Amino acid sequence: MSLRDLILNDVPVAEVKPVTLRGEKLYVREMNGTERDAYEAQQLSANKAGSGLENFRARLLVRVIVDKDGNRVFGDDDVAALGKLPAREIRKAFDIASKLNALTPEDEADLVKNS
């Protein structure tokens, strides 16, 4: 087996970390490269539309919060509703999602500034 095959065919299972939202046990999962790019593109579009900071955390969370079977709990259309949860709950889940998905403070700053 070639090195290329070893890298491309041995796709690791996404890592997940538990989180509690509104008393429900859910999980935050790791995005793959394509999903991360889509998230960043969505954030850049929001910046251009003038709403870059609005629901910044919720936009990430709808993509990475899953149930025990790994299915997304929220759709992209749930961003505004999720953003209305108490800030401490969102922040706790966002902190886990940021660490798991290697979203650094510098990445956050780049994504929220107007482009």
Q: Counting beta carbons within 10 angstroms of the beta carbon of residue 60, is it exposed (0 to 12), middle (13 to 18) or buried (19 or more)?
A: buried
> Tens digits of per-residue pLDDT, 62-76?
999 999 999 999 999
DSSP state of 72: B
What pLDDT, on the 0 to 100 scale, is given for residue 98? Answer: 94
> Tens digits of per-residue pLDDT, 47-59?
888 877 789 899 9
Question: Residue 42, Cα to own-chain centre: how many angstroms?
Answer: 11
Looking at every residue in the chain, the average pLDDT score rounds to 89
Predicted model pTM: 0.84
Q: Is the pLDDT of residue 10 over 90?
A: no
Domains and CATH numbers, the chain: 15-112 (3.30.2220.20)
Backbone angles phi, psi at 20, to 5 degrees: -115, 125
